[in-house]
Every structure is written in C-alpha cells, then in structure tokens.
Amino acid sequence: MKYKNNIAIFISGKGSNMRELIKKSLYCSAKIKLIFANKNCYGLQVAKKYDIPIYFYESKNFYSKFQFEKKILKLLEKHNVNWIFLAGFMYIFSNFIIKKFKGKIINIHPSLLPNYKGLNTHYRVLKDKQKYHGVTIHLITEKIDEGPIILQAKTKINSNENENSLSQKVLKIEHLLYPSVMVSIVNGYLKIFNDKISWINKSCLPKEGKNNIICIK
C-alpha cells in the first residue's frame, strides 16, 4: 500500500507521545516511516516493539550542526518523509531543516503558548499561581515556541495540585490531542500551507471551547 502521508517521529525521552501516535496511525492513512532519537533514551526501547526503522545519532558525534542535520535530511529523503512530528525532541533545528520542511514540522508543547515558552512549564505555572494549564500543538519556525498554533487544550489547576500531578494531567491531554491532530492532517480535515492553518472539519477532536481552545476536565 502506498501512503501519501509518510511520517517521522523525533524523540529524546520516554516516548509516550510517540507510542500514542504509532497506535493511532494504524487506523488512518498514515505511515510511520522512521523513529529518530538524538539521545540514548527510554523511548528507543519502546520503539523496538514496533516494526519501524529506528535511528539514533547524537549531534556531539558530528563535526558541526550542519553535518548532523544533513545526516537527518538524508534519512528523511531516503524514507520519503513529508511530515515530522516532534514528541519530546530536545533539539533546536536550524533553518536548514526548517526551510526544507516548511509547514511540515509539528511540535507539542506543555503550556498554553505564547505563555511559558521553554522548559519547566509545570513548575513555573504553579509558582505563578495560574488557574489553568495546558497543551499547545504548533508548527516549528525559526523562533522557538512561536510557530503558528494548530490547537490548544486547557485544564483547570486544582488547589492541591503539585508539579507531578499536574505534569501527569497535562500528559494525558497530550496523548489525546496529538494523535487527533495527526489523523486530522492525513484525513484532510486540517490543511497547512505556507504556515497557514485551516480547519475543514474538527469531528475527531474533543469538544471545542472559545478561541480554538478545547476545555478538558
């Protein structure tokens, strides 16, 4: 079977979002062509359970960032990849990769962007005594965590919430939302062109609230 939507998943950690994407891909016209890791992470062990090519390269073993990304590009071209899903991938792409895959690199971030860019979002949200926390799925651009937003979901922070309980709550939302966005893309429900987001149909998503933010209890 020939697929139009060939996907690469990039990881650096436990691989739980990767696992959910793979599971959902079995029920739509998406083909996960490869798993790429830039760290010797637990996600590599998870990936071995699936019949998908796995690649592990560390940037420190390359002469330059350009050489590292050139190697990545060759892998993507070899497998005819046309979508990249970052699932906890701790690396900042240069414009070399971003321009090659403009509007085709998708990331999931544990906060309601543009608030709380970067790391340690759960700790920072609790420290600031915010009422809500959440997840943003967005396109990757040259500026970190500033790409066009595809979808967001928020959840209320309980009075007895701690960093661990909040991170687990947000992770459950990630597992729900990220595969749904992948399915929306491959089914043609979500169109992305030149960094422009256009939703045709949101039938496979949870109920939407105001301003394209899904509210999840």
The mean pLDDT value of the chain amounts to 91
CATH number (domain holding residue 144): 3.40.50.170
Beta bridge partners of 198: 191
Secondary structure letter of residue 52 according to DSSP: S
pTM attached to this predicted model? 0.93
Range of the domain at 15: 5-215
Check: CB of residue 14 under 8 Å from CB of residue 46: yes
Check: CB of residue 175 under 8 Å from CB of residue 17: yes
Q: What pLDDT does 3 receive?
A: 56
Q: What pLDDT does 216 receive?
A: 56
Determine the average pLDDT of the residues in 149-173: 93
Residues taking part in catalysis? 109
- Give the C-alpha separation, 215 to 217, whole Å: 7
Calculate ∠ Cα 67-71-77, nearest 5°.
140
Determine the average pLDDT of the residues in 150-168: 93
- Give the C-alpha separation, 152 to 130, whole Å: 17
Query: With bands split at pLDDT 50, 70 and 90, how would you rate the model's confidence at 195?
Result: confident
